[in-house]
Amino acid sequence: MLISEDFGAMLQAVPGAFVFIGNGDAAPLHNPRYDFNDAIVGVGARYFAELARMRLPRATA
C-alpha cells in the first residue's frame, strides 16, 4: 500500500495522522470496477466526531 509523499511532507510541517477506514473487499481505488460502500459513511462520521469530542474540554457541573 502506498501513501502519497505529499502527505509525508505535510506531516513534517504539522502534526497529523493518515486514517484508513475499511471499505470491504471491492476493487481498489482508481479501478474502473471500484464501488464505494455507502454503508461505511456512518462509521467514518462517527470516528471523526469522536476525535473532535475527545479534543473538546470536559463539561463541568
Q: Could you report the per-residue pLDDT of 2-52, keeping only the tens digit for each?
A: 556 688 888 889 998 888 888 888 788 889 999 888 999 999 999 999 999
Residue 11: inside a domain = no
Burial 9-30 (b: 16+ CB within 10 A, else e): eeeeeeeeeeeeeebeeeeeee
- Residue 8 resides in a domain: no
Domain annotation covers residue 32: yes
Say if 31 falls within a structural domain.
yes
- The total number of structural domains in the chain stands at 1
Q: What pTM, to 2 d.p., does this model score?
A: 0.64
Inside any domain, residue 6? no
Establish if 4 belongs to a structural domain.
no
Residue 39 covered by a domain: yes
33 within a domain of the structure (yes/no): yes
Domain range for residue 36? 17-61
